[in-house]
Chain A
Amino acid sequence: MQLTRRALLGSTAALGLASAFSGLLGAGRALAQSGSVTIATSGGAFEEALRAAFFTPYQEANPSLVMRFDTPDDPSRLKAMVEAGNVTVDLWTTGDYFGFDSDAEWLEEIDYSVVDGDALLPGRAMKYRVGLDIEQTLITYRTDAFPNGGPQTLADFFDVEKFPGMRACWKWVAGGIFEAALLADGVKKEDLYPLDIERALAKLETIRDSIIWWDTGAQSQQLLTSGEAAMGILWGSRAFPAMEAAPIGVAWGEWFSAGTWCMVPKGAANKEEAFKVIAFAVSTEPQIKLTSLLPYGPTNAEAAKRVDERYKGNLPTDHLDTQIAIDNTWWIANQAAVDTRFQEWLLG
Chain B
Amino acid sequence: MTIAANPETAGERGGLLRRMARANWLLLALPALAFFSIFFVYPLIDIAMRSLQGGVVNYERIFGTTLYVRVVMTTFEMALIVTVCCLVIGYAYAYALSATGGYLQVFLTLALLLPFWVSVLLRTFAWLVLLQNTGLINQGLLALGLIDAPFQLVRNKFGIAVGMVNILLPYMVLPILSVMKGIDPKLMLAARISGASYLRCFFRVYLPLTLPGIISGCVLVMTLSLGFYIVPAVLGGGRDTMIAQLIADQITRQVNFSFSSALAVTLMLFTGIVFALFALSLRLAKKRLGG
The yes or no verdict on A and B being binding partners is yes
A residues near B (Cβ < 8 Å) are 74-76, 79-80, 97-98, 166, 171-172, 174, 208, 211-213, 215-216, 218-219, 222, 226-228, 335-336, 339-340, 343-344, 346-348
A-chain residues with CB within 8 Å of residue B134 when the two chains form the complex: 226-228
Contact between A347 and B67, CB atoms less than 8 A apart: yes
Asked if A213 contacts B255 (CB within 8 A), the reply is no
Q: Is the CB of A348 within 8 A of B239?
A: yes
Pairwise interchain contact B125-A222, C-beta atoms closer than 8 A: yes
Instruction: Please tell me if B223 contacts chain A, counting CB pairs below 8 Å.
Output: no
Q: Tell whether B119 is near chain A: CB-to-CB under 8 Å.
A: no
Q: Which of B183-241 contact A (CB under 8 A)?
A: 233-234, 237-239, 241
The answer to whether B71 has its CB under 8 Å from any CB of chain A is yes
Bound CA–CA A343/B263 (angstroms): 14
For residue B105, CB closer than 8 A to chain A, the reply is no
In the complex, what distance in Å separates the CA atom of A346 from the CA atom of B245? 13
Q: Are B71 and A343 in contact, with the CB atoms below 8 A?
A: yes
Chain B nearest CB from A154 CB (Å) reads 20
- B239 and A346 contacting across the interface, CB-CB below 8 Å: yes
How far is A77 from B256 in the complex, measured between Cα atoms in Å?
12
B contact residues around A344 at 8 Å (CB)? 65-67
> Are the CB atoms of B238 and A171 closer together than 8 Å?
yes
Given the complex of chains A and B, what is the CA–CA distance between A75 and B238 in angstroms? 26
CA–CA, A213 and B66, complex, Å:
22
Complex Cα–Cα for A74 and B256 (A): 12
Whether, in the assembled complex, B18 has its beta carbon less than 8 Å from a beta carbon of chain A, the answer is no
> Which of B70, B245, B251 has most chain A Cβ within 10 Å?
B251
Size of the chain B interface, CB-CB below 8 angstroms? 32
Chain A CB within 8 A of B288 CB: no
A98→B70 contact, CB < 8 A? no
Report the minimum CB–CB distance from B261 to chain A (whole Å). Answer: 12
Contacts of A335 in B (CB 8 A): 254
Min CB distance, B160 to chain A, in Å?
A: 14
- Say whether B48 faces chain A, with CB atoms less than 8 Å apart: no
Q: Does B257 contact A (CB under 8 A)?
A: yes
Task: Kindly state whether residue B9 has any CB partner on chain A within 8 Å.
Answer: no
B65: A residues at CB distance < 8 A: 340, 344
Q: Output the residue of A172, A216, A228, A336 with the most chain B CB within 10 A.
A: A228
Contact partner, B238, options A97, A172, A174, A213, Cβ 8 Å: A213
Residues of A contacting B132 with CB < 8 Å?
226, 228
- Residue of A with least CB distance to B229: A215
Q: Which of B74, B233, B237, B255 contacts A98 (CB 8 A)?
A: B255
Asked if B98 is an interface residue, CB under 8 A from chain A, the answer is no
Contact with B233, one of A74, A216, A348 (Cβ below 8 angstroms): A216
Please, which residues of chain B bring their CB within 8 A of the CB of A212? 155
Is A219 a contact of B234 with CB atoms below 8 Å? yes
A-chain residues with CB within 8 Å of residue B254 when the two chains form the complex = 335-336, 339
Whether A215 pairs with B238 at a CB distance below 8 angstroms is: no
Beyond A215-B234, A336-B259, A343-B71, 15 additional contacts (C-beta under 8 Å) are: A79-B255, A208-B238, A215-B245, A222-B125, A336-B61, A339-B249, A339-B254, A340-B61, A340-B65, A343-B241, A344-B65, A347-B70, A347-B74, A347-B238, A348-B238
A4 to chain B, nearest CB (A): 29
Q: Which residues of B contact A76 (CB under 8 A)?
A: 251-252, 255, 257
Set of chain A residues within 8 Å of B74, measured between Cβ atoms:
347
A219–B134 alpha-carbon span in the complex (Å): 14
What's the Cα separation between A79 and B246 when bound, in Å? 19
Q: Once the chains bind, are B128 and A222 in contact (CB under 8 Å)?
A: yes
Bound state CA distance, A222 and B132, in angstroms? 11
Closest to B132 in A: A228
Residues in B with CB closer than 8 Å to A219 are: 234
